[in-house]
Amino acid sequence: MPMKDLSARYRNLNADQLRDRLYSLETVIEKSKIGVWQLCVVTGKLSVNAYFAELLGLRWHPELTFTFYDVLKIIHPDDRASAKSQFQQYLAGESQDFEVEFRVKFADGSWHWIRDVGAIVSLQRNGRAEKIVGSWFDVNDMVESNQRLRKITRTIPGVIYEFELYPDGTMRFPYSSEGIIDIAGVSPEQIRDDVSVLFNLIHPDDIGKVQHSILESAQSLNEWFCEYRLIKGDSERWLSGYAVPERDDTSGVVRWYGQIVDTTADKALELELLESKITLEKAQELGNIGYWRADLTTGELAWSDEIYRIFGLDKEQVKPTIEVFDRAIYPDDFKAVKASMERARETGVHDVEHRIVRADGEIRWVHELAGFRGDDSRDVMIGTVRDVTEQKLYQRELERLNVTDELTKVNNRRFFIASLERELKSIVTASRICVAIVDIDYFKIINDQYGHAEGDLVLKTVSAFINEQLRPGDVFARIGGEEFALLLHRVEGADAKRRLNAIRQLISELAFCHNGESYQVTATIGMTMLNPQDTRDDVLHRADEALYRGKRDGRNCVVWSEVD
């Protein structure tokens, strides 16, 4: 029989100390709003504290007692049998701990979720429980929050999930929404610790692609995207997965947070467009995508109920017309939409993404996809409109992550190269733009002597410091390892060198400390000025050559490589 023996904690305390401990404990319990109970198993009497009585609408007094069965009566009928069974199992020694959740009817008539935690504190001579103490915690808000979360996730298309990859190759799904049941016919519990349950359903021709994409994303920490087929029963479904990874540097575990959606309908729609056979009946089968049919000759327009929802219109008050649709198009996108419709007269396909202004003023992104059919008498378009706002927001976030260095949070090499190439395309005369490469001197020694975590701290500190020295319009990026790059605008060569020397000097004055040992770092900088005839490789070669010349000349300097 499991028993909580706490006597050793109090054996050496005197009466005053015990009273002090008791007063402190009662104060904490009272302020924490915890219902405390003590059950004498022999008599069946249940003693409670004031807050326990308050929960049930009773006035507490020292003689106030209940019986075990009195408490059972106020437990929700649907929870009563389970609570009683778990308590009896605990008394019989069939379980080591007693913790159960159930609903209790409060004095105001409302039902609240309660977490009941108890422990045996004394035994009878026959070894059976004599006294059990426990606490009631009102967890109603937490339970209702979890229930709301489950309801919200049911409204999100597909499944949202967290996926983990461990250094030894182990994979887990710590969380997946209930949408996994609809997509794959398996439960979140089935795949939590055994991903093979889900992976075994992936089409044999696609499983290699999926596994490779996961490993590639884990290595590069780029966003994960994969389209693949899944076999569910006798049917085959197309799925699209999107996720953003992050690595725990301590454990080496890579975690992805993302969404998998069933794109079978979209794949079917693509085939229909290729064959120019989009029909109203087919669009109706696509579920959450609104369909429409427009007579461009008469201006008549018919659309499904889903479009009313997408555009925020009242079906009872608004009659669909091309004019109504046109008024909802975001003004800056109007020309692009009309141009796509004109192209459809030649290509047969109207395919455009644009913004709309809903009736409530909210701006949303939609994707229109339609087929054009024209003859001597009339021109007709039949197609769909789909709300892609969330995808747009997701795409923008991925674009942001794609040009940001994960460690230092400054721009990455991709962003810097794109900025440099943009400047080279626009330059027509001798420019006032400086390109500089900054390299932290002897950085390998820092990593070897103090560890990579300290090296990362140096990179983050130096990059943040340089970023603070820039003027509006300047570009700063980490381009690899301990190397950074700068684009300085509106500056002559001599002024650029003075600015870079000032930055170099200030870097050398930054103070670092590791385990009580203070140290400083220096940087070598190679610079050059842009010229109209330059290519990207020309500029980077000159800056690199200047950097390495500075390294050879003793480091901690700025070297200017001028054009031959």
Q: Are 65 and 49 in contact (CB under 8 A)?
A: no
Close Cβ partners of 27 (under 8 Å, ≥ 6 residues apart) = none
Q: Which residue bears the tokens 């390299």?
A: 439
Quote the strand ranges of 304-414, DSSP E.
349-357, 363-374, 379-387, 411-412
Rounded CA-CA distance 33/359 in Å is 47
Quote the strand ranges of 3-128, DSSP E.
35-40, 45-48, 65-67, 98-105, 111-123
Regarding pTM above 0.85, the answer is no
Query: CA triplet 406, 411, 417: central angle to 5 degrees?
Result: 125
Rounded CA-CA distance 415/554 in Å is 31
Given this model, what pLDDT does residue 283 score? 40
Given this model, what pLDDT does residue 487 score? 93
3-state helix vs strand vs coil in the chain, percent to 5: 40, 30, 30
* DSSP tag of 202: B
Tell me the C-alpha to C-alpha distance, in Å, between residue 185 and each of 33, 179, 181, 210, 261.
43, 9, 4, 19, 14
DSSP output for 136-155: EEE-HHHHHHHHHHHHHHHH
Close Cβ partners of 536 (under 8 Å, ≥ 6 residues apart) = 417, 420, 421, 424
Neighbouring C-alpha atoms within 13 Å toward the C-beta of 20: 6
Query: CA triplet 50, 58, 35: central angle to 5 degrees?
Result: 35
Q: Are 537 and 476 in contact (CB under 8 A)?
A: no
pLDDT tens, residue order, the chain (564 aa): 454 555 555 556 666 665 666 556 566 556 557 788 888 888 888 888 887 888 777 788 877 877 778 788 888 999 889 888 888 888 887 777 788 888 888 878 888 888 888 888 888 888 788 888 888 888 888 887 777 776 776 667 888 889 999 999 999 999 888 888 988 999 989 999 999 999 999 999 999 999 999 999 999 999 999 999 999 888 888 999 999 999 999 999 999 998 999 888 887 676 565 554 344 444 444 445 777 888 888 878 888 888 888 888 888 888 888 888 889 899 999 999 889 888 888 888 888 889 999 989 999 988 888 888 877 678 888 888 888 888 777 666 656 656 788 899 888 898 899 889 888 887 766 668 999 999 999 999 999 999 999 999 999 999 999 999 988 888 999 999 999 999 998 889 999 999 999 999 999 999 999 999 999 999 999 999 998 888 999 999 999 999 999 999 999 999 999 865
Q: Which residue bears the tokens 């401990």?
A: 21
Q: Which residue bears the tokens 């799925």?
A: 239
Residue 287's identity, in one-letter code, is G
Would you state the structure tokens that stand for residue 52, as one six-digit string?
Answer: 């326990």
Would you state the structure tokens that stand for residue 303, as one six-digit string?
Answer: 């659309």
In sign, the C-alpha dihedral spanning 496, 498, 504, 509 is negative
Given this model, what pLDDT does residue 78 score? 92
Close Cβ partners of 434 (under 8 Å, ≥ 6 residues apart) = 486, 487, 488, 491, 493, 496, 500, 527, 528, 529, 530
Given this model, what pLDDT does residue 214 score? 94
Rounded CA-CA distance 244/398 in Å is 8
Rounded CA-CA distance 206/129 in Å is 59
Neighbours of 412 (CB within 10 A): 19
Which burial class, exposed, middle or buried, applies to 269 when counting CB atoms under 10 A from its CB (0-12, 13-18, 19+)?
buried
Rounded CA-CA distance 66/355 in Å is 65
Q: Are 526 and 544 in contact (CB under 8 A)?
A: yes
Would you state the structure tokens that stand for residue 76, as one six-digit string?
Answer: 């929700």
Q: Are 328 and 357 in contact (CB under 8 A)?
A: yes
Residue 86's identity, in one-letter code, is Q
Rounded CA-CA distance 221/231 in Å is 29
Rounded CA-CA distance 284/304 in Å is 8
